[in-house]
Amino acid sequence: MSPASERMEFAPPRAPGLIRALMLAVLAHAALLTVLTAGISWKSEAPQVTAQAELWSAIPQQAAPPAPLESPPEVAKVETKPEPKPEPQPPAAKPVDTPDPAIAIAKEKARKEKEKQQELEKQALEKQRLAKLEKDKQEKAKLEKDKLEKDKQAKLEKLAKDKANEKERDKALADAQKAKDANTNAEAKKLQELREQNLKRLAGLAGSGGSGDANSSGTAAQSSGPSAGYIGRIRARIKPNITYIETIVGNPSVEIEVRTSPDGTIISRRVVKPSGTASWDNAALNAIDKTAVLPRDENGKVPSSLIIVLSPQELIGR
């Protein structure tokens, strides 16, 4: 026996009247479709509502609502098995409401008032902003003015202080110049005395010998001072050491006091009477420094102190 025949053997028996039940169901559904088609066609033909109104005042009266639609006649229900679920009915059309002009006017007026209020607020904010900018500008100008005043005051104070310092400096320089002039005068006086002594010794060397005291004084002067040609010998010793390349006007002479040791070594030298040309004075001092040792006199001695007069024409022929 096949498996299919075994399965059908134990299957439940078929219900009687199955074909008749199917035919009845098909008929019931056909009737239901016919009724639903008729109902939809009736609903699609909605009545047209028209309204007419006349305005007798500024505010029109609202038109009366249209009469309610009559409910459609009930459709006889067909008893069917099984009973089908009813289809949802479409909603009834709502009556068209005519807009109220007063409401539209009020809304427009409210909108304009709101815009006007917003414009006023905007203008107020702009005024506040401009006022703040002006205030800030004035404060900034005031700060700059105060700063300029402070700077001006500080400059004036600095100028006054500098002027006071300059006065003090000028006074100190004047005092120093006075002291220097006093020292210079004292040195000049001392040098003048030393020059007079040298001139006296030179005059004693130049004087002729005689009898009596005159001869003795001339001999004493000759023995105490340098010989007549000693200054020339010193200049001849210094001349090779002169180095001067500048152009000089005139024949300025510088007097230099020289102190030596017994063997003629130069211990110190200083300008006692400048020539007025600093470069020539320095050249003369450098030449004496290079000479280092002065020659001995005829008596074999070197004066411990003497004044040497040096000029460009005598040493370099200018």
pTM: 0.33
- Give domain status of residue 86, yes or no: no
In a domain, 259, yes or no: yes
Return the exposure string of 237-273: e unless at least 16 CB atoms fall within 10 Å of the residue's CB, then b: bbeebbebeeebeeebbbbbbbebeeebebeebeebb
Q: State residue 14's pLDDT score.
A: 66
pLDDT tens, position by position, 29-61? 998 888 888 777 655 555 555 656 555 555 555
Tell which wins on pLDDT, 261 or 18. 261
Select the highest-mean-pLDDT range: 18-27, 126-135, 175-184, 201-210: 126-135
Sheet holding 254-260, edge to edge: 266-273, 254-260, 305-310
Q: How much is the average pLDDT of 286-307?
A: 87
Average pLDDT of the chain? 76
Query: Which CATH number do you get for residue 282?
Result: 3.30.1150.10
Domain presence at residue 183: no
Taking residues 100-129, report their average pLDDT: 90
**What confidence tier does 136 reach under pLDDT thresholds 50, 70, 90?**
very high
Say if 290 falls within a structural domain.
yes
Residue 67 has pLDDT above 60, yes or no: no
Each residue's pLDDT tens digit, 168-222: 888 888 888 888 778 777 777 777 777 777 666 655 554 433 333 333 344 343 4
Residue 241 lies in a domain: yes
Confidence at residue 39, expressed as pLDDT on a 0 to 100 scale = 72
Q: With respect to residue 240, please indicate whether it lies within any of the assigned structural domains.
A: yes
Average pLDDT over residues 264-281: 89
The answer on pLDDT for 64 being more than 90 is no
Neighbours of 150 (CB within 10 A): 10
At residue 121, does pLDDT exceed 90? yes
Q: Does the pLDDT at position 74 exceed 60?
A: no
Residue 303: domain span: 230-315
What pLDDT band is residue 249 in, cutting at 50, 70 and 90? confident
pLDDT over threshold 60, residue 75: no
Per-residue pLDDT averaged across 1-20, rounded? 65
In a domain, 5, yes or no: no
Judge contact between 283 and 242, C-beta under 8 A: yes
Query: Domain total for the chain?
Result: 1
User: Most confidently modeled of 63-77, 88-102, 293-307?
Assistant: 293-307
Where is pLDDT greater, at 2 or 241? 241
Predicted local confidence at residue 218, as pLDDT: 41
pLDDT at 219: 39
The answer to whether residue 187 sits within a structural domain is no
Can you give the pLDDT at residue 208? 36
Q: Give me the mean pLDDT over the 297-317 stretch.
A: 83
Q: What is the mean pLDDT of residues 68-92?
A: 55
- In tens, the pLDDT along 105-115 reads 888 889 999 99
